[in-house]
Amino acid sequence: MSDTDGPIDPSQIGEANAPPIEEKPYKIIFEANKCIGAGRCAEVSDNWELDLTTGIAKPRAYFIDEADLEANVEAAEVCPAKKDRGVIHVVDRRTNEEISPDPHGDGTLSVDW
């Protein structure tokens, strides 16, 4: 079994150039390859924009603080992709728990690359 065969460890994603956890304790993990371009995320959060050329949404920032948490959680919750499980994942960097959408109800990362 190789290192890539096990579950995805959210603590490793994007951390190479990340700001300190104290400044930005939350991060966005975005499954862009599964975005269906509904644009609901951009409707509810200023952090999200829908590129009309590609039909794919993207966050302006992948690392956020408390002030931006609620809007990004809402963006994750309204995303209709993956049969309403969404492709936007908000993770608490301090605990590595998925805050939203958390379909398993236990904080495990629900990314399925």
pLDDT, one tens digit for every residue, the chain (113 residues): 345 566 677 778 889 899 999 999 999 999 999 999 999 999 999 999 999 899 899 999 999 999 999 999 999 999 999 887 899 999 999 999 999 999 889 999 888 87
Do residues 110 and 103 lie in contact, with contact meaning Cβ atoms separated by under 8 Å?
A: yes
What is d(CA 111, CA 103) in angstroms, rounded to the nearest whole number?
Answer: 10
Helix (H) or strand (E) segment spanning residue 94: none
pTM of the complete model: 0.89
Domains in the chain, CATH or no CATH each: 35-100 (3.30.70.20)
Please give the biggest Cα pair distance in the chain: 42
